[in-house]
Amino acid sequence: MLRAGCQLLGQASVAKTGSNNFALEFVRWRRKPRWLPVAKSKLFRVPERKKQTEEERTELMRLHNQYKTQLRSVRQYLREEVIRYEETSTADHIVLTPEQEEAEFQRCLDENAAWNAAIAKEREIRLAKERDEKVVYVQERLEAKKLRDEERLERANARVLHEIEQSKTFITRENLDAAIETALANPVDHNFAIDMGGNLYYGRNATQFPQETTNEPPQQALSN
């Protein structure tokens, strides 16, 4: 960009090869340096505004609007992304202040108290019902026991009366001799066979039995 010398300013901007000029530089862009003032001849020149047709103006406006809209939406998206990232990278937004936490806890306590009260009411009803059922049950059992005891007493009484009745025929020390006499006088012979028709067959006379046993060996007697 730098010029080799002022002499180049007046020359054409074409590359010069084979020149005898020393320190020649290839100049592609020529411009007046920034530090030089406006030329005297151009000092009071007012550039003419370009005329735009109506079509061109509307078209440019459309493009402009489109560009602005797109840029705005991108900017908004980036802003939201930053917010989203901040939300997920710190715990600030889910951590409650102590007051909020306390209020939340109180709300939970109240809710739980309501729940407990409802259950307590239900339980009261259930317990009352169970109590009534228990009373009825105990009453039934008591009555059943009473009945059972009465029956038992009755049975015992009957038994006692029966025993008393029986005791009239008991053999006691006083009537022992009379009983022995009676037994001897009326021997009972159980030594008989019986058939399916219920007929009894006496094989021998029981009164002869003791005499036979004395004559025979005990084994034979047992085998009979």
Partner 1 sequence: MPFMKGREPIRRTLKYLNAGKLVLKDKVRIFSVNYNTYGEHHAGAREFVFWNIPQVQFKNPQVQVLTLKNMTPSPFVRCYFEDGRDMLIDIDGKGHDDIIDHLVKVVGKTREQLDAEARLAESKDNPANFGYGCDRHCICEIPGQIACPGTVPLPEKMRGKFLFAPK
Residues that bind partner 1 (CB under 8 A): 85, 87-91, 93-94, 105, 108-109, 111-112, 115-116, 119-120, 122-123, 126
Question: Tokens in use for 220?
Answer: 């034979």
Smallest distance from partner 1 to CB 92, Å: 10
Task: Tell me the closest approach of the beta carbon of residue 15 to partner 1, in angstroms.
Answer: 44
Q: What angle do CA 10, 16, 17 make, to 5 degrees?
A: 160
Q: Which is nearer to partner 1, 119 or 136 (CB)?
A: 119
Nearer to partner 1 by C-beta: 63 or 117?
Answer: 117
The Cα–Cα gap between 45 and 38 comes to 10
In the complex, least distance from residue 73 CB atom to partner 1, rounded to whole angstroms: 24
Record the tokens describing residue 70, joined without a space.
Answer: 């797109």
* C-beta closer to partner 1: residue 111 or 216: 111
As measured in angstroms, the least distance from the Cβ of 87 to partner 1 is 7
Using a 10 angstrom Cβ sphere, with 0-12 exposed, 13-18 middle and 19 or more buried, the burial of residue 78 is exposed
Question: Closest distance between partner 1 and the C-beta of residue 118, in Å?
Answer: 9
Residue type, position 146, single letter: K
Q: Pick the closer one to partner 1 by CB: 99 or 165.
A: 99
Residues 6+ apart with CB under 8 A from 202: 189, 191, 192
Nearer to partner 1 (CB atom), residue 15 or residue 119: 119
The kind and range of the H/E element at 194 are strand 192-194
